Amino acid sequence: MSTLSEAVGPAEPNDAPPRGLWRQGLTVFCENRLALVGLGLFVLLAGVCFLGPLVYHTDQVHTDLTAVHLAPGEQGHPLGTDGVGYDQLGRLMLGGQTSIIVGLAAGVLATIVGTLLGAIAGFFGGWVDAAVMRVVDAMMSIPSLFLFMLLAAIVTPSAPMLILIIGAFAWLGPARLVRGEALTLRSREYVQAMRGMGGTGGRAVRRHIIPNAIGTVIVNATFQVADAILYVAYLSFLGLGIPPPAANWGGMLSDGLADTYSGHWWLLYPPGIAIILIVLAFNFIGDGLRDAFEVRLRRR
């Protein structure tokens, strides 16, 4: 065990990581069948949402009150229509685009902000660490969904606004994680050596702390994306999502709930299942990446 850290210990990031490690990581990822299933699911869902409309054309802007609540298969609507006549399959594609874009963007935003602040706080310590972490503690003490709802009620929700709102509060988790990593990494010999040679703190964070915490960051990012997709769904479910004709799966689920007792199952099941699948997909991918980045597994 003692030789393990030495052999694969943090290399100078200037050196490109040995190709073998990436290949090993890929191998480990591919050995995780659930991760592959997750990746396949994500590719499938993203493909349907973004490429589907190119081959399956529907009008998702104009309502059609002469064709409301058509059952699947009726009048050329494979998944039926909703309460204002939108084709449900086309709406799923449109809604999926919003959910995936907002989820990915908010997850990435939260990860970038959280990683930067966490790395700075952990590396520099002292009052910088205290200030950042107290902000994190304070914000974590308030239920995030409550904050999202408050903000979404104040501003008119739009996709960029939702990205900002979710990103603005979702960075707390990554910040804590990366700070923990940074606390460990800052005492490593190669960091000390760089500082001894006159390297600045900024360079240490940029070239050593963040690159060596990248595994944790990427794994966490997948979970952040999954969480962000769920937050979009929550907000839309509560009526605080993007107003029509824009759509997202949470809003569709909310709309479908009003028809629960009317037997219009096609308004409820498809968006609900889509949310479950995309969140599961990101969780599976995240777990696969965690395995792949885990040094111990790379070396086995």
Partner 1 sequence: MTSRFPGRALRGAVAAAATIALGAGLVGCGDNSGSSKDGGSQGKDTVTVAFRTPNWILPISAPGFTQGENAIFGQALYRSLYQYRLDGTAQYNIDPERSMAEPPQVSDDGRTLTITLKDNSWSDGTPITTRDIQFWYDLVTANKDKWASYRAGGFPDNVDEWSIKDEKTFSITTTEVYNTAWFVDNQLNRITPLPQHAWDKDSATADVSDLASTPEGSKKVFDFLIAASKDPKTYDSNELWQVTSGAWKLEKYVPNGEVTLAAEPNYSGTDKPKLSKVVLRPFTSDDAEFNVLRAGDIDYGYVPAANMSQKSYLESKGYTISPWYGWSITYLQLNYNNPKSGVLFKQPYLRQSLQMLIDQPTISKVIWSDTAAPTCGPVPAKPGTNTDAAGCAYSFDPAKSKELLESHGWKVTPDGQTTCQSPGTGPNQCGEGITAGTPLEFTVTSQTGFAATTKMFAEIKSQMAKLGIQLTIKEVPDSVAVTPTCEPTEASCSWDMSFFGSQGSWYYPAFASGERLFATDAPVNLGSYSNPEADKLIEATQFAGDESALTAYNDFLAKDLPVLWMPNPVYQVSAYRSGLQGVEPQDPMNLMYFQDWSWK
Per-residue binder mask for partner 1 (CB under 8 A), 139-178, x = binder: --------------x--x----------------------
Per-residue binder mask for partner 1 (CB under 8 A), 79-118, x = binder: ----xx----------------------------------
Q: Is residue 248 a contact point for partner 1 (CB under 8 A)?
A: no
To the nearest 10 degrees (0 to 180), the angle between helices 159-170 and 88-124 is 30
Rounded Cα distance between 260 and 295, Å, is 49
Q: Is residue 65 a contact point for partner 1 (CB under 8 A)?
A: yes
Cβ-based nearer residue to partner 1, 142 or 276: 276
- Give the nearest distance from C-beta 255 to partner 1 in angstroms: 7
- Give the nearest distance from C-beta 137 to partner 1 in angstroms: 24
- Give the nearest distance from C-beta 229 to partner 1 in angstroms: 12
Q: Is residue 63 a contact point for partner 1 (CB under 8 A)?
A: yes
Q: Residues 177 to 216: which contact partner 1 by CB under 8 A?
A: none
Cβ-based nearer residue to partner 1, 56 or 269: 269
Q: Is residue 258 a contact point for partner 1 (CB under 8 A)?
A: yes
Rounded Cα distance between 8 and 109, Å, is 30
Among 48, 68, 108, 147, contact with partner 1 (rule: CB under 8 A): 68
Cβ-based nearer residue to partner 1, 123 or 148: 148
Stretch binding partner 1 (CB under 8 A), from 1-9, 73-81, 92-100, 279-287: 279-287
Cβ-based nearer residue to partner 1, 13 or 239: 239
Give the binding site for partner 1 (CB under 8 A): 32-34, 61-63, 65, 68, 83-84, 153, 156, 223, 239, 243-245, 255, 257-263, 265, 268-269, 272-273, 276, 279-280, 283-284, 286-287, 290-291, 294, 297
